[in-house]
Structure 1
Amino acid sequence: MLMNASEVARLLKKDESTIVKWIKKEKLPAVLVRGNYRINRVDLLEWATEHSITVPPELFAAAEADVTLPTLAEALEAGGVHCSVPGDDKLSVLRNVVNLLKLPPQMDPEFLLQVLLAREAIGTTAVGDGIAIPHVRNPILLQDKPSPAITLCFLEKPIDFGALDGKPVRILFMLTSPTVRVHLHLLSRLAYALHDPQFRATLNLACDPVGIIEAATRFERELRR
């Protein structure tokens, strides 16, 4: 799961000095190991998404070809598309979103909310242009969840999430997954889809569950080509 600065530079087609500058000045998460920077793939993807940097989807493909991972459309169908989710601030919005999730009986919703708020305290999950992708920092917390899902919520009114571009959040994707691999897969698929003009246009039109699932299916079809 860890990459060095030169590997990240090759994959993103940047100079290694640019990666080091991002670490030192742009808060790209990294740790020093024997004098060399090591970057976690989850941290890289989250940071790149927040800074509108496109990453190649194949970078985050599963290592084992025999494991079936959900498509974006399948994950959205599992989580559902919800319109006019109420809330006056980040806390109340996240609480209402958690209540919409299909959690296993043993999962305490209040504990999940606490973990989500802790993640927000580390750094906003808003990725700009009115979109946020809140998720638990350690997906293993949801290891008893039967299937991975992306719950899409259109908020009743825009909420300040501390986004880098200053725009309040009006669309929220909540990721829930049983393993780090599945979490990384879903996050990469979603991050890449948000750079797709047709998918973004569908999101911006209205809260249209059928249209959004169809747009996600088209995106996956084009990606396979």
Structure 2
Amino acid sequence: MPYRVLSQQEVADYLHLTAADIERLVKNGDIPFEMRGKRTVFRKQDIDEWASQRILKLADKPLAEYHQKTTRATQSAFPTAAIMPDMTQPAFIAPGLTAKSKASIIRDMVALAVSTGRVYDPHALIASVEEREALCPTAFPGGLALLHSRYQQPAFSEEPFIVLGRALQPIHFGSPDGRPTDLFFLVCCQDVKLHLHTLARICLMAQKSALLALLREADDATSMYDCLVNAEKEVLENQNAAE
């Protein structure tokens, strides 16, 4: 339902924020909204795009707080809180991408996604990932990019999954620090809430563990998979200890 219109309270519930948080974001002009008479409303499609961009920019504490909320919200689907064992596997990881441009990285990552057997329409997925990158690059400092489609739609994939690629030659992918990127995740989720939670989880793993360095040192896809599982376990244990 990308064209659905949400109320302020519905947006707060959807994003795991308070109504006061949404009111402050509206007041500061930090969230897309429309006025219909005296009512403040939000287009779901705009909110989904905004939320994905916002998560990639969250600093340490706000990210941890948001992740804690989304972990609770997805507990019914993931009782142990871990998502990596369900969403990826060694066969979904390519440790030696040879692409040398942004366009070729996107093509190779979608090809890797297609190899999982879970993608319905590769051409539509490529187009949507390219649209998302044109809107705002998904690369951020540390040499990491979290590719995803502009809209999360069941038409793209059969079930949620993550693929990971490591480029042999880092390329410029639009990171704010101007440095090249060599680690690329492609996140494919039909459900927007799971999509946002997955982005938050990977960001937290990158911030709160040695994941990125370990992925670069790993010998093969199986070792890279183990790095993901262990980093997630570390992050969840630390989160539980802090609660």
Question: Same fold by TM-score, threshold 0.5 exceeded?
Answer: yes
Contact 1:141 1:178 in 2 (8 A): yes
5+ residue gaps, structure 2: 1-9
Task: Select the residue among 214, 222, 226 that pairs with 1:210.
Answer: 222
- SS in structure 1 at match of 2:214: helix
Alpha-carbon separation, structure 2, partners of 1:104 and 1:2 = 34
- Of 136-145 and 84-93, more deviation after overlay is shown by 136-145
Equivalent position of 1:123 in the other structure = 136
Equivalent position of 2:18 in the other structure = 7
Alpha-carbon separation, structure 2, partners of 1:111 and 1:90 = 17
Q: Which amino acid aligns with 1:58?
A: Q
For residues 151-170 of structure 1, the aligned pairs below 5 Å read 151-170=163-182
For residues 128-207 of structure 1, the aligned pairs below 5 Å read 128-142=141-155, 144-145=157-158, 147-206=159-218
Alpha-carbon separation, structure 1, partners of 2:214 and 2:119 = 36
Q: How many residue pairs end up in the alignment?
A: 215
TM-superposed CA distance for 1:217, in Å, is 2.4
When residues 47 and 111 of structure 1 are mapped into structure 2, their CA distance, relative to the original with a 3 A threshold, is same
Alpha-carbon separation, structure 1, partners of 2:74 and 2:138 = 29
* Cα deviation code 1:57-103 (max 9, x no counterpart): 12223646433376124323176221221222111111111111146
* Cα deviation code 1:158-177 (max 9, x no counterpart): 22212111011111000012
* Cα deviation code 1:188-217 (max 9, x no counterpart): 211211112332331242454333333332
Q: Which amino acid aligns with 1:93?
A: I
Alpha-carbon separation, structure 2, partners of 1:173 and 1:32 = 33
* Cα deviation code 1:111-164 (max 9, x no counterpart): 21111111111111112221111101222244651x321111001212221211
Equivalent position of 2:50 in the other structure = 43
Q: How big is the alpha-carbon RMSD for the aligned residues of Structure 1 and Structure 2? A: 3.4
Contact 1:45 1:188 in 2 (8 A): no
Q: Does 1:66 align with 2:68?
A: no
Q: Which amino acid aligns with 2:184?
A: L
- SS in structure 1 at match of 2:148: coil
